[in-house]
Amino acid sequence: MSENGPPFVKCTPVSLTEQESLEKSLSFYHLMDKRRSVRQFSNKPVSNKIIENNILTASSAPSGGHKQPWTFCVVSSAELKSKIRGLAENEEKISYEGRMSDSWIRDLEPLRTNWVKEFIDIAPWVIIVMKKAYDFDENGDKLNN
């Protein structure tokens, strides 16, 4: 890794025919269309290495100047997860009680969701993504980005 982040990797464009592009786009759509927002999580342990690899993958998302203006906080402590749950539930309750439109609330009814987030306590890890507004140098001093 370089002083200013990951090393530069030259992009090697891939040239596809119109038919290949069509097939790949349709295949990608079918894969992405299977995604769902879920509130059911397993309590099955997940190794630190798997979490690290997932964070590495997420960290590689393209960004302006390859600056990756985000940071990840990974939590496994039951005590911290419980505190996060309380904070998240407070915010979500406010949303359900006034931030969300009536039509949004109606759209959620078939999903039987509410502001209760017991899955935060159940999941072995909670990963929080936060905006990174600035960096620190090796001495802990704030850098002017």
pLDDT, tens digit, 9 for 90 and up, residues 45-97: 999 999 999 999 998 888 887 788 889 999 999 999 999 999 999 999 999 99
What torsion do the CA atoms of 88, 81, 116, 124 make, to the nearest 10 degrees? 130
Q: Looking at domain 40-131, what is its CATH homologous superfamily? A: NADH Oxidase (3.40.109.10)
- Domain ranges (residues) in the chain: 40-131
Whether residue 5 has pLDDT greater than 70:
no
User: pLDDT tens across 7-42, in order?
Assistant: 777 888 999 999 999 999 999 999 999 988 777 789
Q: For the chain, what is the total number of helices (H) and then of strands (E)?
A: 5, 2
Question: pTM higher than 0.75, yes or no?
Answer: no
Other CB atoms within 10 Å distance of the CB of residue 117: 18
